[in-house]
Every structure is written in structure tokens, then in C-alpha cells.
Amino acid sequence: MIQPHILIAVLGAVFSIPPFLGIFWVGYFILRLPLRRQERAGFFLDLLETGMQTGRSAETSIITFSESQDRSMGVRFHLLAAYLETGLRLGQALDKVPHLLPPRIEAMLKTGEEVGDLKKVLPLCRRMLRDGVSQTQGAINYLILLAFVFTPLFPVPLVILRVYILPKWRDVFAGLSTTPLPPLTEFIFGESFWFVRIQLLIAAILYAGALLYIVGPRLSVWMKNTLSISLLDEIAFRIPWKLKRMQRDFSAMLALLLDAGVPEPRAIQLAADSTANAVFIRRAARVVTELASGKKLSDAIERFDETGEFRWRLDNGSKGQAGFTAALSGWLEALDAKAYQQEQSTAQVLTTGLVLLNGVMVGLVVTGIFQALVWMINDAVLW
């Protein structure tokens, strides 16, 4: 006959499996979000390219595929096709179906449509899709940190420790002897509020990062369209690897437009729009003003690159026969590689630093409590 405690243990193990599987599935789903966006956008670009190779327009290709009732692209894709059937152009229909594509890819497609050669911007869009792999690799470090160091309920035990447990321990230790507590224990009891505040700040930063990772570019678009503020664009402009990717997209689109014969002021505006960043767009407006006042393009473009390499390559492109795209190819690869290196290095350093900081703080608290216990034992023996 099965013992009751064994039966309870088995049932507890069996019923605990579904919640754990659910947690793992949610983590897996969240971790793959950038790759899912990349996959959807890549499929959309493949559809456009395949249609153009067979002589069909982008609008016709989308409508034809939507008629197959395939659900792999989601509801928004079929809504886009419905708008195209009313006679709208691709750029106009994309404005009515937000969040179908990443903002930068959407801006690039609109630029290609405006210059009359959508096919030329497809390679630039595909280059941008590679960013999703780097984001996912960096997110793995934060996921490990959340899984093994912090949990969603991490702030709760901190508050309980600060409000209920540490004051009780201090009263107990103070009532056992009139001799002062060890210095480290006094520090822990006196400064426990700061310990909890730092831990809560770390947790808040991690949760904010997780939220931005889950929401993706939608939050930035919503803030600009609804609240008319570009705070996230300002922050992104000051993050080194994001800035380098924006410089890459801007440079590639600018070279393509200049090679296509687009006037410099218009090329600057369209290239800045392809970054989908308000700071870049504002700087582009200043560059256009400087061009109108007679300043050379290579001199005005310094607003987008402080190193001077962009200016040097533009000068070479204007003098050479191969064109701007060929002159900037090495620059684009270098920006891509530096952005990847910076993002991965930052993820490693940040997660390692947070783990070490958390370990030091927990170690101080534990050491302070054990010193008080040793002090209490020694005091009782001497008594």
C-alpha cells in the first residue's frame, strides 16, 4: 500500500509540472520576439522581391498572396492587402496598418517607393534584419540574470526584510546585552533602507529593460504619435550600438539616393527618415539648412559622425567612378561589426556587474547577521 506522504509528494510533483512548463514557454516566447519580428519582415521582403522578379508590382504581389488565405503573416498583413485593394499605394497602406513591419523597414520601403525603385532598398532592409540576432543574444544574458538572481517577486522579500525582520532582530540583539553590536551589524541595521533601495532600483531597471524588449519599437511609435514626445528616440541616439546602426542605415540610404541622382537636400531628408529616429531627422533638417546656405555636403554631414570617416568616404565617393555605395561599403560593414561588439560587451559587463553587486550586498547582510549571532554567543559564554 502506498504511503500517504509518498502519494502527496508524487501528486505535488505531477501538478507542479504544468506551471513550470508554462513559465518556460512564456520565457521562450518572449526571448524569440525580435526573431519573430525579423522572420515576419523577412517573409514580407521575400514576397515583394519574388513579385518584382515576375514583373508584378508590390501592391499586386501582396494582394495575390492575401487571396491564398495564408495565416502565417497575421491579420495585419491581410488588412494591408484590403487597403491596397482600395487603390492605395504601399506607403499609404502601411500608414494605416501600424506595427506590421519595424519602423525603419517601413520608412525604407516608403523611400524606395518615392524614388521609384523599391527593389534597390530591399538589400538595405535585409541588412537591418540582422540586428534581431544580436538583440536575442544579448537578451539571453538578461534572461539568465532574471532566472537565477532576480525573480518577478524579488522586491517582496526585500520589503519584508526591511520592515519586519531586521527591526525585530535589532530589538532582540539589543535586549540581550548592553555592549554595542559589531560595527558591520550596526551598519547593516542602520543602512538597511539603502540596501533595499539599491536592490529595488536594480530590479526596476531589469523590469524596464524586459518591458522594452517585449514591446519593441511599438512603445516609441506610440509615444511619438500619441504623446508627441520622442524620449525613447533621444535615449536610443545616445546608446552607442543603436547610434551606429542608425548611422549605418542613414549612410546606406544616402549613398543609394545620391547614386540615383536625387538632389542632396532631398536625399538627406529621405535618408534620415529611414532611421525612424526623431533626433536624426532634426539633425538632417539642420544639414539641409546648411546646404541651402552654401555649405558642402561633406562638411555639413559632420553632424552625423564625429570621427570624420563618413566625410572622408563621401569625398572619395564624389570623386570616384564607382559611386557612393561602393565608397561606403566598408564603412557600413565596420559600423555593423562595432555595433554588434558593443551590444554584446555591454550585456556581458552589465549582467556580470549586477550579479557581483547583488552578491556583495547579500554577503554583507549575511555576514552582519552572523557576526551578531557570534557576538551573542560569546556574550552569553562570558556571562
Q: Is residue 25 very low, low, confident or very high in pLDDT (cuts 50, 70, 90)? A: low
* Structural domain total, the chain: 3
Claim to verify: residue 61 and residue 10 sit in the same structural domain: no
Q: Are the C-beta atoms of 126 and 112 separated by less than 8 Å?
A: no
Please say whether the beta carbons of 61 and 52 come within 8 A: yes
- pLDDT tens digits, one per residue of 204-262: 777 777 777 667 666 666 666 666 667 778 888 888 888 888 888 888 888 888 888 88
What residues contact 371, with CB distance under 8 A and at least 6 apart?
A: 182, 184, 185
Please indicate, yes or no, whether residues 276 and 383 belong to a single structural domain of this protein: yes
Note the pLDDT tens digit of each residue in 123-158: 888 887 776 666 655 555 555 555 545 555 556 666
59 plus 147 within the same structural domain: no
119 Cβ neighbours under 8 A, 6+ residues apart: 49, 52, 112
Same domain, 26 and 85: no
101, 127, 154 - which closes a domain: 101
Q: Is the distance from CB of 51 to CB of 60 less than 8 angstroms?
A: yes
**Could you please report the per-residue DSSP string of 326-375?**
HHHHHHHHHHHHHHHHHHHHHHHHHHHHHHHHHHHHHHHHHHHHHHHHHH
| 24 — pLDDT class (breaks 50, 70, 90) | low
Do 283 and 365 reside in the same domain of the chain? yes
What is the Cα–Cα distance from 169 to 370, expressed in whole angstroms?
A: 12
Whether residues 123 and 96 fall in one domain:
no
Residues 115 and 97 in one domain: no
**pLDDT tier for residue 374 given thresholds of 50, 70 and 90:** confident
Which domain covers residue 64, as residue numbers? 38-101
